[in-house]
């Protein structure tokens, strides 16, 4: 990833304002691009764009290839002629995403668009090209989606012949569920057209998309159902081992994510074709990619499925050929390594070999150690610095609720002055923008100086996450004027 000194903002589209219960790629997304461009920003960082359920986590998607229908803009569908009239929006709480309600309201919008315009759309060349060009994943996903809707349960609970993917049984279901399959493909086409339009608009304004590729996929996903051979699951489809991380900063018992782990021996035998396909798909949606859980690209924490926590497990190394294949498939290496957590010498060596930026998080920098890599004086030029991430508290929330007296003392010693709850956010913004790191990313919550209530995710907890949204009045020019000043004064324009 070869970029000049620059900066950008992290704000997942679900966190944008919208009267539909969840942010989307509608009018406020374009407004946000305009604000970024006016502030001289080079990047809009988003989280994975893959489909989620009522849990809301973009890091446990139902497909690693499909787009998230929640992000469809009803206004955009009307403007593009896919929908006759705009339905009455539900006007949910603008400060929070209500995933069950949002899924229902967007499903109703997709149903209306399908009824109104699918018959005309299916005959168009653009739709045919989309379906043909994405068939390797789209056919599996559309059938999985139709079956999920029909059975109303995870694929592990489907009839055995369908769960096991027996050819005759699946062909029968394709014929039986043709309208539902067509609807799913149509929804993916709508996502493709809307996201491509937004991405092109952003690029015309000098704003590039920094996307995110989750390492694992949800057990109840089209990927594991269609390709169980690439995962460590039994003949019954149940996981033998699951992923996570051992005890660390975020959790005393570690994080047991519950996602089945990959069978890397089988992946290597297949030439990593499936893995390379998913990376290529993600790069069609973004200009650059943050590789989530990069340490898993070298070795991953394998937890026996029966273990209730992540405390029991083992580090399992990946085949050494994997990084060679990654370099060969993507020689420009348009990646950022999320190298947080338990990082060992072999992971550092892999990042160095690839020559891609790692991440530096200011909230992690003030433990009093002069060798802390997150301390601004230790930042590397080829890195991405941020005040916090989607997994951390906001700066204001960290200072008020998590920073120890030692953390505060180390911060004040580094700055050479006292720091208060009124000044801490400004101090962090200045430190991040002034860092030698080539790329600087500001979470939108920190630009607004928001507290813990605006936290996006609290790792290790199972409820209340991924729900925060910025309010319309907060997307004003004031915070972006401040951002423009930071950008210009620190040579990131």
Model confidence pLDDT, tens digit, residues 267-324: 999 999 999 999 999 999 999 999 999 999 999 999 999 999 999 999 999 999 999 9
Residue 446, pLDDT score: 98
User: CA–CA separation, 441 vs 3, rounded Å?
Assistant: 14
With the CA atoms of 123, 66, 106 and 446 taken in that order, what torsion angle do they form, in degrees rounded to the nearest 10? Answer: -140
User: CA–CA separation, 183 vs 143, rounded Å?
Assistant: 10
- Kindly provide the residue ranges of all beta strands, DSSP E only, lying in 108-214, ordered along the sequence: 208-213
Residue 93, pLDDT score: 72
Residue 341, pLDDT score: 80
Tokens of 61: 């998607």
| 3-state secondary structure (DSSP) of residue 266 | helix
- State the catalytic residues: 292, 338, 391
The answer to whether the beta carbons of residues 458 and 4 sit under 8 Å apart is no
Q: φ, ψ for residue 50 (rounded to 5)? A: -85, 160
Q: 197 CB contacts (<8 Å, ≥6 apart)?
A: 25, 76
The answer to whether the beta carbons of residues 39 and 481 sit under 8 Å apart is yes
Q: In the chain, what are the domains? A: 6-489 (3.20.20.80)
The answer to whether the beta carbons of residues 383 and 437 sit under 8 Å apart is yes
User: CA–CA separation, 149 vs 182, rounded Å?
Assistant: 13
Does 165 score more than 90 pLDDT? yes
Residue 288 pairs in a beta bridge with 210
Please give the full DSSP string across 252-267, using - where no structure is assigned. TT-EEEEEEPB-HHHH
Burial class (CB in 10 A: 0-12, 13-18, 19+), 80: middle
Tell me the pLDDT band of 3, cut-offs 50, 70 and 90.
confident
Tokens of 389: 């991430």
Give the β-pairing of 43-45 and 6-10.
parallel
User: CA–CA separation, 433 vs 373, rounded Å?
Assistant: 17
Of 248-252, 353-357, 368-372, 393-397, the one with minimum mean pLDDT is: 248-252
Tokens of 461: 């907890």
With the CA atoms of 309, 310, 314 and 315 taken in that order, what torsion angle do they form, in degrees rounded to the nearest 10? Answer: 160
Does 198 score more than 80 pLDDT? yes
Residue 91, pLDDT score: 73
Tokens of 297: 């690209």
User: CA–CA separation, 56 vs 13, rounded Å?
Assistant: 13
Tokens of 191: 């996502």
Residue 43 pairs in a beta bridge with 8, 208
Query: Looking at residues 209-231, what average pLDDT do you find?
Result: 97
Model confidence pLDDT, tens digit, residues 353-367: 999 999 999 999 999
Tell me the pLDDT of the chain averaged across its residues. Answer: 96
Does 1 score more than 80 pLDDT? no
Tell me the pLDDT band of 250, cut-offs 50, 70 and 90.
low
What pTM value is reported for the model?
Answer: 0.96
Nearest by Cα to 23 from 74, 87, 82: 74
| 3-state secondary structure (DSSP) of residue 286 | coil
- How many CA atoms lie within 13 Å of 209's alpha carbon, on the beta-carbon side? 26
Residue 57, pLDDT score: 94
User: CA–CA separation, 462 vs 465, rounded Å?
Assistant: 7
User: CA–CA separation, 23 vs 49, rounded Å?
Assistant: 12
User: CA–CA separation, 374 vs 364, rounded Å?
Assistant: 6
| 3-state secondary structure (DSSP) of residue 482 | helix
Percent of the chain predicted with pLDDT > 90: 92
Q: How far is residue 206 from each of residues 42, 43, 487, measured CA to CA in Å?
A: 6, 8, 15
The answer to whether the beta carbons of residues 65 and 29 sit under 8 Å apart is no
Give the β-pairing of 241-245 and 255-260.
antiparallel
Dihedral sign, Cα of residue 21, residue 27, residue 32, residue 35: negative
SS percent in the chain: helix, strand, coil, step 5: 45, 10, 40
Q: How close are the terminal C-alpha atoms of the chain, in Å?
A: 18
Give the β-pairing of 43-45 and 208-213.
parallel
| 3-state secondary structure (DSSP) of residue 118 | helix
| 3-state secondary structure (DSSP) of residue 442 | strand
């Amino acid at each position: 990833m070869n970029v000049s000194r620059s900066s950008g903002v992290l704000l997942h589209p679900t966190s944008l304002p919208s009267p539909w219960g969840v942010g989307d790629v509608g009018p406020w997304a374009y407004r946000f691009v305009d604000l970024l461009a006016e502030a001289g920003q080079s990047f809009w960082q988003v989280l994975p764009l893959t489909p989620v359920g009522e849990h809301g986590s973009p890091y446990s998607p139902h497909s690693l290839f499909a787009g998230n229908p929640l992000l469809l803009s009803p206004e955009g569908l009307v403007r593009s002629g896919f929908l006759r009239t705009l339905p009455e929006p539900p006007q949910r709480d603008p400060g929070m995403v209500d995933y069950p309600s949002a899924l229902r309201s967007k499903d109703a919008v997709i149903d209306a668009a399908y009824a109104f315009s699918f018959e005309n759309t299916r005959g168009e060349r653009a739709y045919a090209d989309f379906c043909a060009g994405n068939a390797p994943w789209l056919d599996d996903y559309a059938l999985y989606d139709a079956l999920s809707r029909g059975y109303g349960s995870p694929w592990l609970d489907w009839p055995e012949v369908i769960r096991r993917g027996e050819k005759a049984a699946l062909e029968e279901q394709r014929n039986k569920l043709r309208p539902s399959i067509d609807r799913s493909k149509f929804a993916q086409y709508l996502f493709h057209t809307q996201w491509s339009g937004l991405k092109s608009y952003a690029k015309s304004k000098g704003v590039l998309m920094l996307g995110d590729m989750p390492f694992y996929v949800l057990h109840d996903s089209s990927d594991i159902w269609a390709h169980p051979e690439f995962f460590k699951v039994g003949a019954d489809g149940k996981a033998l081992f699951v992923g996570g991380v051992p005890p660390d900063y975020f959790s005393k018992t570690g994080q047991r994510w519950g996602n089945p782990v990959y069978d890397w021996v089988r992946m290597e035998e297949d030439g990593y074709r499936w893995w390379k396909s998913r990376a290529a798909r993600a790069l069609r949606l973004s200009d650059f990619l943050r590789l989530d859980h990069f340490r898993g690209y070298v070795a991953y924490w394998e937890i026996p499925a029966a273990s209730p926590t992540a405390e029991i497990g083992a580090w399992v190394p990946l085949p050494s050929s994997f990084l060679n294949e990654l370099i060969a498939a993507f020689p420009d290496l348009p990646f950022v390594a999320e190298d947080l957590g338990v990082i060992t010498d072999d992971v550092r060596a892999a990042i160095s070999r690839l020559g891609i930026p790692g991440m530096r998080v200011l909230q992690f920098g003030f433990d009093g150690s002069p060798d802390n890599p997150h301390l601004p004086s230790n930042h590397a030029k080829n890195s991405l610095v941020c005040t916090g991430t989607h997994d951390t508290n906001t700066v204001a929330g960290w200072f008020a609720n998590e920073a120890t007296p030692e953390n505060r003392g180390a911060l004040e010693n580094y700055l050479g002055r006292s720091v208060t709850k009124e000044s801490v956010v400004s101090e962090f913004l200045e430190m991040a923008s002034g860092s030698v790191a080539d790329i600087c990313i500001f979470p939108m919550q920190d630009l607004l100086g928001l507290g813990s209530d605006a936290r996006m995710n609290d790792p290790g907890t199972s409820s209340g996450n991924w729900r925060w949204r910025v309010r319309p009045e907060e997307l004003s020019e004031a915070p972006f004027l401040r951002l423009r000043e930071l950008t210009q004064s620190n040579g990131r324009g």
